[in-house]
Structure 1
Amino acid sequence: MPPRTSPSERQRRLGAELRKLRVRAGMSGDTAAGLIGAERTRISHIERGRVDVPRNGLYKLLRAYRCPEGAYFDSLMDMAHESGRGWWNGFSDTIGPAGRDLAELESRSTVLRTHEPLLVPGLLQTKDYARAVLDTTEADAQRAERYAQFREARQRVLTGESAVPFHAIIHEAALHIRVGGTAVMRRQLLRLIEVSRLPNVTVQVYPFEAGNYAAHTQAFVIYGTTAPELDTVYLEHPTQSLFLRDGDQLDKYAKMFERLSALALAPINPESAPESHESRDSLSLVQHVMYTL
């Protein structure tokens, strides 16, 4: 098969990891190609995610690159042999490669952490809220509806037997922006309280009085895996989505998230009794905003 022109994020990531390991081992592309009985150009295509590598070939490369056996080794082997197909392929008529990459990343993650300064995170949005957001960027009503359906389908990652732990930090500003009007916003705030009842979901609000923090204006998502080296940070921009893989960048965003969590109010706990709220917390703030809409 000819090299693919649009590899998925998973395929690009696998290739980038293999190149990093090869360079770290001080091995040339020609030598690596010889290990799997291929031409030098094939190693180049593999490292760009443009062609697949057979399972036995990948195993030979990882051993030759002195990649220690463990979670990282096993995850690379798994990444190479995943089909990339899932429920998200049913939305190929509307959703582009970046959106499908997100759904695949979510399906492979062991923990999700997100920070949103101006909007409720997509995985927590009601359908009406999502439609109101999408209506501002998508003029075609049918396409906007498909986008909303796709966002709703992605939310299944938070429920069921294999539900992923999810931690969201939402700036207070997002609670006050009346996306879709008062009724839509009130239902959305109720949804934040309802979804917090899930044992795997943690929602914190970053209040105005917490002041400025360098990261509090930037939306980002951290996709965690069983091998921390393969974590991914996602930054959404109007013209291009960015997937960060560099270890220093991953560490930077993980520390930013920890700092944001420390500055934010205590998580929403819908089961707590009113008299137990000795100090302001995320639940009391969400309720206050909801009742003043």
Structure 2
Amino acid sequence: MAPRSNPSERQRRLGAELRRLRVRAGLSGERAAAILDADRARVSNIETGRIDVSRNRLHKVLQEYGCPPGPYFDGLMAMAQENGRGWWDEFNDTIGPAARDLAELESRSTVLRTHEPLVIPGMLQTEEYARAVLEATEKDRRRAHRYAEFRLARQRVLTGESPVMYRAVVHEAALHTQVGGAAVMRRQLLRLMEMSRLPNLTVQVYPFEAGIYAAHTQSFVLYGSAAPELETVYLEHPTNSLFLRDVSHLDEYTKMFERLSELALAPVDPESAPESHASRDSLSLIQHVMYAL
């Protein structure tokens, strides 16, 4: 089989991890080729995600590279077993490779942590809000609506049989930014409070008075894994979104999120009694903005 020209993020990640393990073990590409009973070119293609490696060979390689049994070993084996297909295939008429990568990554994550400075996070958006956001940049109305359907389908990971843990820090600016008009915004803010009733969700608002720290972080998502080594940072960009996997990046963005969480108001808790909101918290701020619309 010829090497693929556009490997998925999962395929690139598996290859990058194998290269990292090989280098850490002090093994050359030639030695890796001998282990795989292949040539050096095939090893290079595997390490760039352009060619798959069978589970049997991967198991042997991981042992030879000194990777001990555990969540990291199991995570790599699971990545090799996956074929990249899933519910997102029904949207192949609209979405591109980056969107498929996100859906696949979300499907195997254990926790999602996100910071949004200007809009409500996609995983918490109503359909009409999502359409309004997408129509602002997508000239094809039908395509924008189709992409909104895909965005809502991604929300299944929050409410399925094994829902992922989700933590969001949303800047107060996102509550005030008019998207689709006042009625759409009221329903969106109500949805934000309703979603916060789910036991696996935590939503905090970063208020204006907390200062400028949030301005330095931009929008990002941290995808957690049972193996910390396999966590990922996603930075969305109009022309070239990025998946970061270096340990230094993971540490930096984890610290960023925790600092944002510390500076933000207490989490939304729609089940709490009214008297518990004597001090300002995320729920009272969302309600204040919603009633003012």
TM class by shorter chain equals over 0.9
Helix, strand or coil for the counterpart of 2:112? Answer: strand
2: CA distance between counterparts of 1:118 and 1:133? 11
Bigger mean CA offset, 213-222 vs 127-136: 213-222
Q: In the TM superposition, what whole-angstrom CA distance separates every residue of 1:103-124 from its partner, at most 9, and x where no partner exists?
A: 0000000000000000000000
Residue 53 (structure 1) aligned with residue 53 (structure 2): yes
Contact 1:215–1:256 at 8 Å: present in 2 too?
A: no
**Could you tell me which residue of structure 1 aligns to residue 230 of structure 2?**
230
- The answer on whether the counterparts of 1:117 and 1:216 sit within 8 Å (CA) in structure 2 is no
In the TM superposition, residue 175 of structure 1 has moved relative to its aligned partner by 0.2
Does structure 2 conserve the Cα–Cα contact (< 8 Å) formed by 1:110 and 1:224?
yes
Q: What is the CA-CA distance between 1:137 and the residue it aligns to?
A: 0.8
Contact 1:216/1:260 (<8 A) preserved: no
Distance in 1 (CA, whole Å) between partners of 2:63 and 2:219 is: 38
Aligned equivalent of 1:119? 119
Match for 1:163: what amino acid?
P
- Determine if contact 2:117/2:214 at 8 Å carries over to the other structure: no
* Alpha-carbon distance in 2 for matches of 1:75, 1:155: 23
CA distance in 1, matches of 2:55, 2:276: 56
Q: Deviations over 1:67-102 (max 9, x none)?
A: 111110110011011111001111111100000000
The residue identity in structure 1 corresponding to 2:114 is: T
The letter of the residue matching 1:202 is T
Secondary structure of the residue aligned to 1:238 is coil
Query: Cα RMSD (Å) of the superposition?
Result: 0.9
Deviations 1:37-90 (A, max 9, x none): 111111000000011111111111111111111110110011011111001111
1:219: how far off?
0.4
Alpha-carbon distance between aligned partners in 1 of 2:257 and 2:151, rounded to the nearest angstrom: 23
CA deviation map 1:221-273 (0-9, x unaligned): 00000000000000001101100000010000000000000000000000011
The number of aligned residues is: 293
**Using the alignment, how far apart are the partners of 1:217 and 1:112 within structure 2?**
17
Structure 2 partner of 1:165 = 165
Asked if structure 1 preserves the Cα contact closer than 8 Å seen for 2:88 and 2:100, the reply is yes
Equivalent residue number for residue 280 of structure 1: 280
Partner of 1:196: 196
Distance 2:62 2:278 in 1: 55
Tell me by how many angstroms 1:278 deviates: 2.7
**Structure 1: 4+ residue segments shifted above 2 A:** 214-217
The answer to whether the aligner puts 1:78 opposite 2:78 as a matched pair is yes
Provide closer, same or farther for how the CA distance between residues 217 and 40 of structure 1 changes in structure 2, counting only shifts above 3 A.
Answer: closer
- Which runs of structure 2 are paired with 1:27-106 in the superposition (5 Å)? 27-106=27-106
TM-score of the aligned structures, taking structure 1 as reference length? 0.99
Alpha carbons 2:207, 2:265 under 8 Å: kept: yes
What is the DSSP-based 3-state SS (H/G/I as helix, E as strand, rest coil) of the residue aligned with 2:243? Answer: strand
1:18 aligns with 2:18: yes
Q: In the alignment, which residue of structure 2 is the partner of 1:209? A: 209
Change (3 A) 1:214 1:136: closer
Distance in 2 (CA, whole Å) between partners of 1:216 and 1:198 is 30
User: Which residues of 2 match residues 221-260 of structure 1 at below 5 A?
Assistant: 221-260=221-260
Task: Pick closer, same or farther for the CA change 1:6–1:166 going to 2, 3 Å.
Answer: same
Matches of 1:216 and 1:181, distance apart in 2: 28
1:187 match: secondary structure: helix
Instruction: Identify the range of structure 1 (212-221 vs 130-139) with the bigger mean alpha-carbon deviation.
Output: 212-221
Unaligned runs of 5+ in 2: none
Question: Does the CA contact (< 8 Å) of 1:3 and 1:50 recur in 2?
Answer: yes
User: How far off its partner does 1:161 sit?
Assistant: 1.6
* Cα distance in 2 for residues equivalent to 1:208 and 1:257: 17
TM-score by length of structure 2 reads: 0.99
Deviation at 1:212, TM superposition (A): 1.2
- Cα 1:192–1:183 change in 2 (3 A) is same
- Are 1:109 and 1:223, in contact at CA under 8 Å, matched by a contact in 2? yes
Structure 1 residues without counterparts, runs of 5 or longer: none
Q: In percent, how many aligned pairs have the same letter? A: 74
Contact 2:214–2:260 (CA under 8 A) maintained in structure 1: no
Given that residues 217 and 256 in structure 2 are in contact (C-alpha distance below 8 angstroms), is that contact kept between their aligned partners in structure 1?
A: no
What is the alpha-carbon distance in structure 2 between the residues aligned to residue 217 and residue 12 of structure 1? 26
1:150 lines up with 2:150 in the alignment: yes
**SS across alignment from 1:222:** strand
> Shift of the alpha carbon at 1:276?
1.2
